[in-house]
Chain A
Amino acid sequence: MRRYARLFALQLRTSLQTGLQYRWDFVVEGLTGLLFALLGLLPLWVFKRNGAAVPGWGFPEMLVVVGWFTLLKGLIDGAVNPSLIVVVDHIRRGTLDFVLLKPADAQFLVSTGKFEPWRVLDVLVGVAICGSGFVLLGRWPGALDLAGALLLLVSAALVLYSTWILVVSAAFWVVRLDNLAYLFMSIFDFARWPVTVFRGAVRFAFTFIIPLALMTTYPSMALLGTLRPATGALAVAGALGYAAVARLVWRRAIARYTSASS
């Protein structure tokens, strides 16, 4: 366990140093992260000024969802997506062999391949946006609500990680898809608003097939204390089932991998 903690720290440091190589880019990147997080609020402001409303969601509640979205996006952009790009590249060039040969768990190495340190800012901005929503509401979430939201955060992370594993597995079959990571990110953009803005089949899809509702809407509802415990429990169970499927697919995919040269 301690060995893996050390390995993790090492991977993190390598990413930081790689980022610092391009000095200008590094500085601008930090600023860009902040700018993007704040620009994400602009539509919401326009929304509010035009007196628009989503049924069941006031402006402060919408802020909580957008904050939660920003937080999760920071997690994905910082810890999930960069590694994804690295693995897809490994698979395409056949250098995944070197990773598999290393004396450490391959899935661990592959999942920690690259980090974007700056995205911590997004997470902080996300927390701040959530917080401002509660300031506007004039109350704070109770301990139980907070615990529920954290549990759902873990579930959301599990779902994200499982999706990640599924995408990587797909890369074993369809090798030439460098832009899978971007597709993944742009679908996640639909989690920006409460799932109630979608209707019919689309809402069904975003709740059960690509569980975006689980990622931002349900945790926000838990924080706001409007989530029914049964729904929350179902969401957690769903996340666990999803993770089990992803693990299964990954196993089959890695068994299929025959490297680029053989």
Chain B
Amino acid sequence: MSRGPSSLAITLRAFPTLLRVGFADAVAYRAEMVVWMLTTTMPLVNLALWHTAAAGGPIAGFGQTQLTAYFLASFIVRQLTGCWVVWEMNFEIRTGRLSQRLLRPVSPLAGYMAENLAALPLRVLLSLPMALVLAFVVGGREFSHDPAIWLMVVLALCLAWLIIFFSMAILGTLALYLESSSSLWFMWQGLFFAFSGYLFPLPFLEAHAPRLFHALHGLPFYYQSGFPLELMLGRHDRAAALHYLGIEACWALGLGLLLAVVWRAGVKRWNAYGA
């Protein structure tokens, strides 16, 4: 990180190549990626429960069709925002491979980022079948018709990707301090499951636990899943959407800064090991 003023320029120049290498990697392991996608069963598990539950009438404004739209779209959002950097960092720190990365003139963080970004085109492609199912089962009725909202959906998804990547990389960096941080990641993941709208749309909480409901809008988890989904379904008007987008941007920025700090201090420790 302390390679003088030109390190940013080097990184920028190397980034397209890193992306190409990452894309080739993703294509090479495409079968594994399909299996990984198939492990995303949680949205369908929860769709089954809530679809049955809404048979008697909509819950918090979510009817059966809208719940189907919500959870099928949730599957796609999960594919588009998926990262695995925490596993890679844990592995490379445990086996000492991080040293090789540190020798390169490009920051390892940029390398990780390129690898995770480069899988996106393939992930989009593999999400198409689910999008077709969504279009066939639900159609356009349940979704927002405002182009401005859809622009914000794209922005919200990009920021969601950043939030997920940064929080994963922060927890991965903690392996420099704790030898292994995969359990910490699982804990974070548990909080994400519970509080992001991944298991149930957060508006289900509004009437019964209003304080929790409002508090959750201040945490990063909501922006990783629930917020983009609610935007797509047209549940926020433009003003409210902008407000939440602002909070989301703050989280992305804050986590990015935190990552820079934690990483810098962590790499110093790594050097101190003599590795």
- A-side interface residues toward B, CB under 8 Å? 22-26, 28-29, 31-32, 35-36, 39, 42-43, 46-47, 49-50, 52-55, 176-180, 182-183, 185-187, 189-190, 192-193, 196-198, 202
Contacts and interface: CB of A to CB of B under 8 A. Distances in A.
Interface residues of B, number: 42
A49 B212 CA distance: 14
Nearest to B48: A197
A31 B184 CA distance: 10
B53 A39 contact: no
Contact of B42 (A47, A53, A186): A186
Contact of A24 (B32, B54, B180, B199): B180
A39 B187 CA distance: 11
A25 B42 contact: no
Given A54-B53, A190-B45, 4 more contacts: A39-B194, A183-B35, A189-B42, A197-B51
B80 to A, nearest CB: 18
A183 B39 CA distance: 5
Given A54-B53, A176-B32, A46 B193 contact: no
Contacts of A176: 31-32
B208 interface: yes
Contacts of B199: 42-43
A49 B213 CA distance: 14
13 contacts: A24-B179, A35-B187, A35-B190, A39-B191, A39-B193, A43-B46, A43-B200, A47-B53, A52-B50, A186-B39, A189-B45, A197-B48, A202-B48
Contacts of A23: 179
Nearest to B201: A46
A169 B184 CA distance: 33
Nearest to A187: B41
Nearest to B54: A52
Contacts of A31: 187
Contacts of B42: 186, 189
Contacts of B205: 46
B36 interface: yes
Interface string B182-196: 111011001101100
Contacts of A180: 35
B40 interface: yes
Contacts of A29: 183, 186
Contacts of B52: 54-55, 196-197
Contacts of A54: 49, 52-53
B224 to A, nearest CB: 16
Nearest to A50: B59
Contacts of A197: 48-49, 51-52
Contacts of A24: 178-181, 183
B257 interface: no
Contact of B41 (A22, A49, A190): A190
A179 to B, nearest CB: 5
Nearest to A203: B48
A178 B32 contact: yes
Interface string B92-128: 0000000000000000000000000000000000000
B39 A52 contact: no
A179 B60 CA distance: 37
B60 to A, nearest CB: 7
Contacts of A185: 39
A69 B161 CA distance: 32
A52 B178 contact: no
B239 interface: no
A198 B52 CA distance: 8
